[in-house]
């Protein structure tokens, strides 16, 4: 069985495609995947004036991923096993609010007695 009028068999085409993909992977060029999402009217309108929306959206997603919680991966929910580890960790690492910027952060109190390092 031939395909494309060139006299190549489907298996040959498949092998050539596979070899080309391997060449691309070895050369550092990775195959891009198209990911789509629904945008409401206000988001669509906000994106109208942006020249390269794909690049803008990629940058926004990568920026958001830098801020994802390492425990819950952005879900906002810990598994029972994660919660058990979190509870043990927070025994010596309480959450406190910064007096200057008001950001909530972890403070390590392990090895301290009355706020003084031991």
For 74-114, how does the pLDDT look when each residue is reduced to its tens digit (9 = 90+)?
A: 889 999 999 999 999 999 999 999 999 999 999 998 866 66
- Is the same domain home to 44 and 94? no
pTM here is 0.47
Domain that holds residue 84: 80-117
Report whether 10 contacts 1 (CB < 8 A): yes
- Is the same domain home to 87 and 53? no
In a domain, 17, yes or no: yes
In a domain, 72, yes or no: no
In a domain, 74, yes or no: no
């Amino acid at each position: 069985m031939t395909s494309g009028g060139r006299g190549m068999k489907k298996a040959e085409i498949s092998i050539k495609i596979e070899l080309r993909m391997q060449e691309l992977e070895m050369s550092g060029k990775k195959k891009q995947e198209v990911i789509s999402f629904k945008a409401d009217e206000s988001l669509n309108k906000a994106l109208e004036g942006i020249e390269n929306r794909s690049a803008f959206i990629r940058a926004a997603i990568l920026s958001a991923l830098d801020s994802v919680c390492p425990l819950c991966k952005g879900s906002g929910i810990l598994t029972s096993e994660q919660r058990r580890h979190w509870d043990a960790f927070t025994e010596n690492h309480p959450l406190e609010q910064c007096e200057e910027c008001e950001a909530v952060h972890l403070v390590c109190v392990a090895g301290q007695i009355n706020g003084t390092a031991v």
